[in-house]
């Protein structure tokens, strides 16, 4: 039996070596010629093609660590000055602000970036740039709700929808950023009243993700649901017939905040404070901001391009023609903690 | 006796576990080539003493020397693997993952003559047939022989046997005991045998040490100890005993059993007699007693009798009286033991 | 014999490995930084955690002991298969079971939509709720109770029950008055394991929208950006983990004698006739279906709708396999070092087990502390793949030490103290005796430990997420990514592949455990 253990151990070690080999990582090159180390919380099946395109254009190899935004932030913090992180990419402006606030990002001035990305979708000091946009809007039951019933954010909290709203938990960063934006626009008191209205309107305690809310509208659990735009667009164009069926009854409305347009959030990125391959990081960021990359991402995940000059590819283009609020997305992050407290106080779990 | 003839010399050894004194200033000598029995009740400290000699326990006072070399003093303990002791454990402690031959050869790791030594021992102990068997398939007696062979393989200066027969059935016991003695004598091995069984100890050992409460209370030959124990505890250890109250007056102890001279101060003492040393005479002779019970025990009968003042037990070969009979008892004064209270 | 020997040094090393993350958590807890989580929310989290632990404890106790009782004490069709098959749900990660049930019974899902068309049928269990989470976790964790109770039942001599019967007890009375009290230690140990796993879980509970103390930890960390506040919230969880570990250990004490008793006689199972036999069969099939077949089947049905990114999945599977084996072997080696000295330093051994009951998110906070030391002080450590993998394997060892320690310790109990003494008097040093006698005898148990840890590593999520090196994804990570992105069919594939990796190990393990005889609990090879 001694022998058997030995055999198993050898197999294990061999497997481990194989696994290491299959990491297929060219050792990240501190000299900086050929690599860029990407820490990203954005992960789609089209990523591989996107990075391959960048490598094809520049010859720079992309090393990736995926994770959720805050774990990546914690990791970069722990890695300290030795961090190999070059570029940090995540969805949600709040998460980018948290990285900035932890001094993990460095200012970058790039004419390519400032030209491509509108001022309200990037950090004024250039520590991060929006790359793609999503709107946080309303999916509604077209058999029960008229678009006019829901053309402002106030109406989400109005008694008209008492017990008829589906919404996900307060833990969702997208909700936090939305409430953060409302605090920016309305101040905490009015926003507090709004969150209480939302809680009063909930058809059920918050559960599931945005897609679950949309499907709940179709199932008659509620009449309206708060969702990110791309989830709906994805369902409307899904391979799954059941998903497509949902969107024949459930429609998308773009409510307006103070008549200035819908609340938008971004996915974006910034160059890490200690980036060992700073130049490559900027190149990758510029690439991600390029019309080609914005279009590729948009085609892959149904977000809208950040740049107004880049037309959304189909099928997202059908929804792209909405008015977006011009508020700077940089305001969301600093308001998130306050937003969480307001939501908690209102009983929004 | 010259120290050079001592294979194991234990001097003033104490071992304390927390607040319990397991060994209390014990002295012990094992002469070269002899077999020493260490007899004591369970908890008397005899196994602990054996383990200190093996180096499996450290000591808190005294010294232990093996073959003239000090191996244990407080603060110094030669590791067991360096002591040239072989030990046979109560449960034999055979390694379940090794064959008989591998068990026996375990201590010969790296030695060129390993196979030869193992073969010789297996043969001597008549376990050649089982050499490729695993221990759990062996009988108790065979397991014991493997354990002994394993301990002998390294040609130790001394063999320590911890209750070697306690896990064997009665019928097997005598046979295994004979085997063991024969092997030890043939190999001229010095050995210490720990046991709680007086018969085992007396048959096997040439010298005997009695332990009680962590102390070595008496040493000597089995016969000497059996006949002349110096304490109640020693007398009891060596076999069944009748005890009665006695009193010493001017060098003579007196009890219902008779009188015997005793070099003890005046005062109360005990007088002891073995059940085998009481005899029946005809009625109206000797000490009058009534038979309370008779039990047949094979080669003899256990007869319990009562006098007016004491209850006694007799081991009688042959015909026995019946319950209720009145009998007379005689006592050979030479067999009486006077034991301090 | 006293003092610092090689073995002890190794044991201290292993203990240091295991304890470092926990020290990291405690150290972080004393730092500055606050999170404005309302007291009312904290109370709610704590109550939810307690309620969940209670519900899971109760239902795993019932499911586990009833199934063990049926299989050991009765004979009915399929009994021999169920003896090992009932432990199979161990192979399924709790988060995957949660995905499946949440989707299956979603109010807008296929099933409910179809039911809604039939008048009067519009009802379904609410999976995204406390009872739902308790349901999912109970199905995932009842095998712990099943295995411990089953072992105790098999080891328990039939004599006690026969004595009770001869003293006038009916079979039911014998169960209640004699068998159950005898089983209590095993039951407590199994339930403690299940509750530890419950408190340590994050993936399933979070997916099911149940907010527990772990939610508080995550919220403090991510929303309020305060690792320190998160660590403070983690302290009660650590305390609970320690308490459970203590209960588990305490209950173990009473068990050893039971198995070692000499007068052991196998229990003669009572045949269950006709309807009752079918009922037992239905119960076992039902349990297996709910715990494994239904969730796995549903994920498979959903997964078949899409064509997965095969190269990525295969790569991830090879990572899972390699890390699983590497992590398992490293953990077992460390646990063995610890176990070899555990008798002499029981406290160290116990405290090293704490990581097992520590919630993943909390452990992640703690793991960052030693990782950070390494990253910041060893040049090139962060970007080296080798160092990255070592760190990850280290994390598994710290987190899963208890899972390895337990079987290895059990295996080492087969080595009697006199065997070690014998080896010593036969010329081996303490270390030599360990190598020549203790390890070979415990090797079967070490193999068991390797498999147990392997299964856990393949299912492991939080440590992998936060510590893995560049371009190394495991199946669990991919499943989690897809689930977070609300793409359940995509998450189905990696979940099923995890099952494909762990199932053979679980089958081998449970068959071995259930085939072994008393006194030979860890098998002989």
ipTM above 0.95, yes or no: no
Would the CB atoms of C421 and B86 count as touching at under 8 Å?
Answer: no
pLDDT more than 90, % of chain C? 25
Name the strand (E) or helix (H) holding C340: helix C310-341
Output phi, psi for A153, to 5 deg: -70, -30
- Closest C-alpha among A163, A180, A107 to residue A337: A180
From A217's Cα to the closest Cα of chain C, the distance in A is 8
- Contacts of residue C412 in chain B, CB cutoff 8 Å? none
From C167's Cα to the closest Cα of chain B, the distance in A is 33
Q: Are A130 and A267 in contact (CB under 8 A)?
A: yes
Interface test with A, best of C47, C466, C473 (most A CBs within 10 A): C466
Determine how β-strand B85-88 pairs with β-strand B158-162.
parallel
C 430-489 near A (Cβ less than 8 A): 440, 443-444, 446-447, 450, 465-473, 477, 481, 484-486, 489
Would the CB atoms of B81 and C441 count as touching at under 8 Å?
Answer: no
pLDDT given for residue B22 in this prediction: 93
| pLDDT of C301 higher than 60 | yes
| pLDDT of A30 higher than 90 | no
Would the CB atoms of B91 and C437 count as touching at under 8 Å?
Answer: no
| pLDDT of A29 higher than 50 | no
Task: Give the separation between CA A183 and CA A338, rounded to whole angstroms.
Answer: 9
Query: How distant is the alpha carbon of residue C187 from its chain centre?
Result: 15
- Lowest mean pLDDT, pick from A204-218, C72-86, C222-236: C222-236
3-state percent helix, strand, coil for chain A, nearest multiple of 5: 50, 15, 35
From B198's Cα to the closest Cα of chain C, the distance in A is 24
pLDDT given for residue C156 in this prediction: 65
Q: What is the mean pLDDT of residues A131-137?
A: 95
pLDDT given for residue B247 in this prediction: 92
Residue among C1, C425, C428 whose CB faces B86 most closely: C425
| pLDDT of B15 higher than 90 | yes
What is the set of domains in chain C, with CATH numbers? 1-29+306-525 (1.10.3720.10), 33-211+237-256+278-302 (1.10.3720.10)
Residue among B51, B56, B107 whose CB faces C426 most closely: B107
Residue among C418, C427, C440 whose CB faces B107 most closely: C427
Tokens representing B92?
Answer: 């034999």
Determine how β-strand B190-195 pairs with β-strand B35-40.
parallel
pLDDT given for residue A146 in this prediction: 94
| pLDDT of C15 higher than 80 | yes
Instruction: Find the residue in B nearest to C439 (Cα).
Output: B97
Task: Give the separation between CA B145 and CA B124, rounded to whole angstroms.
Answer: 10
| pLDDT of B229 higher than 60 | yes
Q: What is the mean pLDDT of residues B321-332?
A: 88
Residue C266 — very low, low, confident or very high, per pLDDT cuts 50/70/90? low
Q: What is the mean pLDDT of residues A45-72?
A: 88
Q: Are C397 and C280 in contact (CB under 8 A)?
A: no
Number of residues that this document lists for chain B: 341
Interface test with A, best of C325, C475, C512 (most A CBs within 10 A): C325
- Contacts of residue C7 in chain B, CB cutoff 8 Å? none
pLDDT given for residue A310 in this prediction: 94
- Contacts of residue A80 in chain C, CB cutoff 8 Å? 372, 375-376
| pLDDT of C108 higher than 80 | no
Task: Give the separation between CA C464 and CA C342, rounded to whole angstroms.
Answer: 29
The owner of tokens 């599977």 is C317
Residue C158 — very low, low, confident or very high, per pLDDT cuts 50/70/90? low
Would the CB atoms of C485 and A43 count as touching at under 8 Å?
Answer: yes
Instruction: Find the residue in C nearest to A17 (Cα).
Output: C322
Whether A39 has a binding-site annotation, put simply, is no
Domain with CATH 3.40.190.10 in chain A: 29-133+264-319, 135-263+329-346
- Contacts of residue C443 in chain B, CB cutoff 8 Å? 97
Structure-model confidence comparison of residues C348 and B198, the more confident one: B198
| pLDDT of C524 higher than 60 | no
- Detail the DSSP E strand segments found in A245-290: 250-253, 264-271
| pLDDT of A4 higher than 50 | no
Residue-wise pLDDT tens digits, A201-212: 999 999 888 999
Q: Are B305 and B288 in contact (CB under 8 A)?
A: no
Whether A140 has a binding-site annotation, put simply, is no
Interface test with C, best of B51, B57, B80 (most C CBs within 10 A): B80
- Contacts of residue C216 in chain A, CB cutoff 8 Å? none
Mean pLDDT of the residues in chain C:
83
Output phi, psi for A61, to 5 deg: -80, 140
Q: Are A54 and A287 in contact (CB under 8 A)?
A: yes
| pLDDT of A155 higher than 80 | yes
Q: What is the mean pLDDT of residues A100-106?
A: 94
Domain A135-263+329-346 has CATH 3.40.190.10: yes
pLDDT more than 70, % of chain A? 91
Residue among C129, C467, C481 whose CB faces A66 most closely: C481
Instruction: Find the residue in A nearest to C332 (Cα).
Output: A9
C 79-98 near A (Cβ less than 8 A): none
pLDDT more than 90, % of chain A? 73
What is the set of domains in chain B, with CATH numbers? 3-84+156-232 (3.40.50.300), 240-340 (2.40.50.140)
Would the CB atoms of C2 and B85 count as touching at under 8 Å?
Answer: no
Whether A231 has a binding-site annotation, put simply, is yes
pLDDT given for residue C402 in this prediction: 83
Would the CB atoms of C386 and A20 count as touching at under 8 Å?
Answer: yes
Mean pLDDT of the residues in chain B:
90
Residue among C225, C319, C525 whose CB faces A101 most closely: C225
Would the CB atoms of B54 and C416 count as touching at under 8 Å?
Answer: no
Residue-wise pLDDT tens digits, B151-193: 999 889 999 999 988 877 777 788 888 888 888 888 888 999 9
Instruction: Find the residue in A nearest to C102 (Cα).
Output: A208
Domain made up of A29-133+264-319: CATH architecture: 3-Layer(aba) Sandwich (3.40)
The conformation of residue A151, written as its DSSP 8-state character, comes to: S
pLDDT given for residue C176 in this prediction: 75
Interface test with C, best of A23, A50, A55 (most C CBs within 10 A): A23
Residue C1 — very low, low, confident or very high, per pLDDT cuts 50/70/90? very low
Task: Give the separation between CA C87 and CA C82, rounded to whole angstroms.
Answer: 8
pLDDT given for residue C189 in this prediction: 81
| pLDDT of A253 higher than 70 | yes
Residue among C107, C306, C485 whose CB faces A239 most closely: C306
Distance set, CA B337 to CA A286, B198, B334 (Å): 110, 18, 8
Residues of B near C (Cβ–Cβ under 8 Å) read 51, 54-58, 77, 79-81, 83, 85-87, 89-91, 93-97, 106-107, 109, 150-151, 153-154, 160
pLDDT given for residue A1 in this prediction: 39
pLDDT given for residue C353 in this prediction: 80
């Amino acid at each position: 039996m001694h022998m058997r253990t030995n055999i198993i151990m050898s197999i294990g070690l061999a497997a481990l070596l194989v696994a290491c080999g299959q990491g297929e990582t060219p050792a990240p090159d501190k000299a900086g010629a050929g690599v860029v180390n990407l820490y990203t919380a954005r992960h789609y099946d089209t990523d591989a093609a996107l990075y391959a395109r960048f490598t094809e254009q520049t010859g720079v190899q992309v090393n990736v660590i995926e994770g959720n935004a805050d774990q990546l932030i914690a990791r970069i913090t722990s890695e300290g000055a030795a961090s190999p992180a070059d570029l940090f990419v995540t969805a949600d402006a709040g998460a980018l602000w948290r990285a900035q606030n932890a001094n993990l990002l460095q200012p970058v001035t790039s004419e390519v970036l400032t030209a491509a990305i509108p001022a309200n979708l990037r950090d004024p000091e250039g520590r991060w740039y929006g790359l793609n946009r999503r709107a946080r809007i309303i999916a509604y039951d077209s058999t029960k709700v008229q678009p006019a019933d829901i053309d402002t954010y106030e109406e989400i909290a109005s008694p008209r929808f008492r017990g008829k709203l589906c919404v996900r938990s307060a833990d969702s960063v997208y909700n936090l950023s939305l409430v953060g934006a409302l605090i920016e626009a309305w101040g905490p008191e009015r926003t507090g009243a709004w969150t209480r209205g939302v809680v009063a309107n909930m058809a059920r305690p918050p559960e599931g993700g945005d897609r679950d809310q949309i499907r709940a509208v179709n199932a008659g659990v509620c009449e309206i649901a708060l969702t990110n735009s791309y989830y709906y667009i994805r369902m409307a164009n899904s391979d799954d017939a059941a998903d497509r069926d949902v969107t024949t009854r459930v429609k998308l409305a773009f409510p307006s905040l103070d008549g200035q347009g819908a609340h938008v959030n971004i996915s974006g990125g910034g160059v890490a404070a200690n980036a060992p391959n700073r130049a490559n990081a900027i190149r990758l960021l510029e690439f991600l901001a390029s019309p080609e990359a914005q279009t590729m991402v948009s085609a892959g995940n149904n977000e809208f391009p950040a740049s107004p000059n880049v037309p959304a590819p189909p099928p997202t283009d059908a929804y792209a023609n909405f008015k977006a609020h011009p508020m700077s997305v940089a305001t969301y992050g600093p308001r998130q903690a306050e937003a969480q407290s307001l939501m908690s106080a209102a009983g929004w779990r | 006796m010259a120290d050079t003839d001592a294979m194991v010399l234990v001097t003033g050894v104490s071992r304390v576990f927390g607040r319990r004194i397991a060994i209390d200033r014990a002295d012990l000598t094992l002469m070269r080539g002899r077999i020493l029995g260490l007899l004591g009740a369970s908890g008397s400290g005899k196994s602990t003493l054996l383990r200190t000699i093996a180096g499996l326990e450290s000591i808190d006072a005294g010294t232990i020397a093996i073959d003239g070399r000090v191996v244990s003093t407080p603060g110094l303990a030669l590791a067991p693997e360096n002591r040239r002791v072989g030990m046979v454990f109560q449960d034999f402690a055979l390694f379940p993952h090794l064959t008989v031959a591998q068990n026996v050869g375990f201590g010969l790791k790296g030695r060129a003559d390993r196979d030869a030594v193992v073969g010789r021992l297996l043969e001597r102990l008549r376990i050649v047939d089982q050499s490729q068997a695993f221990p759990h398939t062996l009988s108790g007696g065979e397991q014991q022989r493997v354990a002994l062979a394993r301990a002998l393989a390294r040609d130790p200066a001394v063999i320590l046997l911890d209750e070697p027969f306690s896990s064997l059935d009665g019928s097997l016991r005598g046979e295994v005991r004979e085997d063991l003695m024969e092997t030890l004598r043939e190999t001229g091995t010095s050995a210490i045998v720990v046991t709680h069984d007086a018969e085992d100890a007396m048959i096997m050992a040439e010298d005997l040490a009695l332990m009680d409460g962590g102390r070595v209370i008496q040493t000597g030959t089995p016969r000497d100890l059996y006949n002349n124990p110096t304490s109640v505890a020693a007398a009891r250890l060596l076999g069944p005993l009748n005890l009665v109250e006695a009193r010493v007056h001017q060098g003579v102890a007196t009890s219902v059993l008779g009188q015997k001279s005793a070099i003890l101060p005046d005062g109360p003492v005990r007088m002891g007699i073995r059940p085998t040393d009481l005899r029946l005479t005809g009625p109206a002779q000797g000490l009058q007693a009534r038979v309370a019970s008779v039990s047949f025990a094979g080669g003899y009968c256990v007869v319990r009798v009562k006098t007016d003042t004491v209850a006694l037990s007799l081991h009688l070969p042959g015909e026995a009286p019946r319950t209720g009979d009145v009998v007379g008892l005689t006592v050979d004064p030479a067999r009486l033991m006077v034991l301090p209270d | 014999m006293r003092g610092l020997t090689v073995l002890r040094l190794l044991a201290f090393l292993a203990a240091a490995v295991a304890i470092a993350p926990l020290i990291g958590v405690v150290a972080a807890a004393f730092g500055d930084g606050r999170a404005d989580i309302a007291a009312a929310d904290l109370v709610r989290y704590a109550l939810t955690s307690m309620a969940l632990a209670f519900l899971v404890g109760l239902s795993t106790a019932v499911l586990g002991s009833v199934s063990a009782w049926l299989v050991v004490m009765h004979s009915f069709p399929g009994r021999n298969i169920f003896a090992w098959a009932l432990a199979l749900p161990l192979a399924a990660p709790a988060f995957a079971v949660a995905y499946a049930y949440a989707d299956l019974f979603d109010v807008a899902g296929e099933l409910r939509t179809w039911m809604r068309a039939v008048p009067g049928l519009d009802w379904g269990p609410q999976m995204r709720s406390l009872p739902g989470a308790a349901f999912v976790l109970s199905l995932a964790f009842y095998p712990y109770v099943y295995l411990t109770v089953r072992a105790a039942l098999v080891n328990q001599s039939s004599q006690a029950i026969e004595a009770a019967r001869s003293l006038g007890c009916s079979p039911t009375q014998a169960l209640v008055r004699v068998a159950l009290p005898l089983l209590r230690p095993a039951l407590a140990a199994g339930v403690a394991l299940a509750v530890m796993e419950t408190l340590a879980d994050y993936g399933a509970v979070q997916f099911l929208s149940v907010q527990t103390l772990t939610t508080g930890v995550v919220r403090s960390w991510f929303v309020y950006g305060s690792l320190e506040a998160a660590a403070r919230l983690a302290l009660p969880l650590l305390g609970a983990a320690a308490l459970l570990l203590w209960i588990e250990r305490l209950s173990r004490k009473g068990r050893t004698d039971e198995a070692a008793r000499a007068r052991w006689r196998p229990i003669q199972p009572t045949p269950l006739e006709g309807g009752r036999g079918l009922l037992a069969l239905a119960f076992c099939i039902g349990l297996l279906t709910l715990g494994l077949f239904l969730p796995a089947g549903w994920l498979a049905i959903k997964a078949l709708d899409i064509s997965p990114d095969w190269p990525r999945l295969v790569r991830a599977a090879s990572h899972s396999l390699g890390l699983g084996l590497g992590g398992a072997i490293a953990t077992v080696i460390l646990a063995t070092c610890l176990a070899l000295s555990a008798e002499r330093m029981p406290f160290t051994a116990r405290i090293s087990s704490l990581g097992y009951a520590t919630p993943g998110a909390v452990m992640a906070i703690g793991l960052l502390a030693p990782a950070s030391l390494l990253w910041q002080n060893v040049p090139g450590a962060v970007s080296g793949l080798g160092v990255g993998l070592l760190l990850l394997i280290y994390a598994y060892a710290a987190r899963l030490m208890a899972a390895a320690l337990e079987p290895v310790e059990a295996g080492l109990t087969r080595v009697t103290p006199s065997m070690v003494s014998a080896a010593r008097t036969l010329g081996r040093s303490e270390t030599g005796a360990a190598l020549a006698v203790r390890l070979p005898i415990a090797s079967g148990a070490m193999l068991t430990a390797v498999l147990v840890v392997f299964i856990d590593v393949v299912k492991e999520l939080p440590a992998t997420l936060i510590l893995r090196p560049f371009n190394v994804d495991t199946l669990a990570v991919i499943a989690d990514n897809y689930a977070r992105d609300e793409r359940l069919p995509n998450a189905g594939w990696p979940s099923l592949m995890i099952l494909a990796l762990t199932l053979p190990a679980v089958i081998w393990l449970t068959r071995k455990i259930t085939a072994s005889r008393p006194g030979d609990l860890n098998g002989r090879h």
